[in-house]
Amino acid sequence: MQEYKKFDLAAERKFNLVDQRWIPCITLDGRYQEYSLREAFTHAWSISEIFDPSPPVVGGLHRLLLAILHRNFGPRDSRSWEEM
């Protein structure tokens, strides 16, 4: 009987959201460019818009980026949020 190698799907499919390009953007000069999360923040000055044919995708990407910004630069606790 032939033995089959066990296939671990999780081990085979890896994608680093921080460093691999996946955020669809239009640059200030009108070119389409995909950015990683890190690049989206470090190159924000050169991004005209986040672009996808699906408005829910664009809204979701805005929410994700905003959540990261709030987590890193926003108020430290709920009391600070209330004071705003």
Torsion angle of alpha carbons 66, 69, 75, 79, nearest 10°? 30
Q: Is the dihedral of CA 57, 58, 61, 66 positive or negative?
A: negative
11-38 residue pLDDT tens: 667 889 999 999 999 999 999 999 999 9
**How wide is the angle at C-alpha 74 spanned by C-alphas 68 and 26, nearest 5°?**
40
Torsion angle of alpha carbons 49, 52, 53, 58, nearest 10°? -80
Beta bridge partner(s), residue 35 = 23
33-42 residue pLDDT tens: 999 999 999 9
Predicted TM-score (pTM) of this structure: 0.75
Q: Return the structure tokens found at 21.
A: 């390009």
Tokens 């460093």 belong to 19
